[in-house]
């Protein structure tokens, strides 16, 4: 199964990625994963010509440093979950410690990236780019991008996502699929919820 890591790695050679990765590496010890639209939307861009993701980067960080250091021009804020958010004039970075990931905490699971992947609401979200190994991880997300589909990955987390977004999950799936030029999948899935 082709995982597209090499193609995605070439995309990360752009200066904005390198600056963002440097900030993450400087403020963590160990592995960190780029997640969200910066992965699946940019991968869809590479494969199908979908518009690139905006400069909004989300990271899961295994071992964040206790003291955050930012380069000149960057400001530290908090995101809606109380995690650090780094902002400059044209870029935002959410810095999420693995131990605070909502779906992991809610399910009482060991903080691990595979457990993060099983808890994403949508299939396309179940993917990450390990910035140390320079590899894409997450078979469910890779398959969703490869098959150009969007569906439910974790039903319980999808219900929470539905409440947060204030719209039915079917609408969220349809809108996400349309934004990517993918096919929405509405059937019931065997989910990873607990």
- Residue 141 in any domain: the answer is yes
93 part of a folded domain = yes
* pTM metric for this prediction: 0.92
pLDDT tens digit string along 102-153? 999 999 999 999 999 999 999 999 999 999 999 999 999 999 999 999 999 9
Please indicate, yes or no, if residue 18 is contained in any of the structural domains.
yes
CATH of residue 68: 3.30.460.10
Domain that holds residue 148: 5-184
Long-range contacts of range 183-186, CB-CB < 8 Å, 24 or more positions apart?
183/148, 183/149, 183/150, 184/149, 184/150, 184/151, 185/123, 185/149, 185/150, 185/151, 185/152, 186/151
Contact 12, 129 (CB under 8 A): yes
DSSP symbols for 46-98 = HHH-PPPPPSEEEEEESSB-SS----TT-EEEE-TTS-EEEEETTEEEEEEEG
Average pLDDT, 10 consecutive residues per value, the chain (194 residues): 84 92 95 97 95 92 95 94 93 96 96 98 97 96 97 95 93 96 78 44
Instruction: Look at residue 194 and tell me if it is in a domain.
Output: no
Position 52 in a domain: yes
Q: Note whether residue 191 is domain-resident.
A: no
171 assigned to some structural domain: yes
Examine residue 193 and state whether it is found in any structural domain, yes or no: no
Q: How high is the pLDDT of residue 188?
A: 57
Number of domains, the chain: 1
């Amino acid at each position: 199964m082709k995982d597209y890591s090499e193609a995605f790695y070439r995309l990360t050679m752009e200066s904005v990625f390198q600056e963002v990765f440097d900030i993450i590496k400087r403020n963590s010890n160990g592995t960190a994963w780029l997640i969200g639209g910066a992965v699946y939307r940019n991968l869809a861009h590479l494969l199908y010509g979908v518009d690139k993701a905006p400069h909004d980067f989300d990271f899961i960080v295994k071992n964040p440093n206790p003291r955050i250091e930012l380069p000149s021009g960057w400001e530290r804020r908090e995101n809606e979950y109380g995690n650090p958010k780094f902002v400059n004039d044209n870029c935002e970075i959410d810095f999420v410690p693995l131990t605070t990931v909502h779906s992991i905490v809610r399910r009482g699971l060991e903080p691990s990236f595979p457990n993060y992947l099983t808890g994403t609401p949508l299939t396309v979200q179940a993917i990450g780019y390990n910035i140390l190994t320079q590899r894409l991880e997450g078979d469910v997300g890779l398959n969703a991008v490869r098959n150009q589909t969007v569906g439910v990955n974790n039903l319980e987390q999808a219900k929470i996502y539905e409440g947060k977004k204030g719209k039915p999950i079917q609408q969220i799936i349809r809108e996400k699929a349309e934004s990517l030029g993918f096919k929405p999948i509405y059937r019931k899935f065997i989910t990873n919820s607990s």
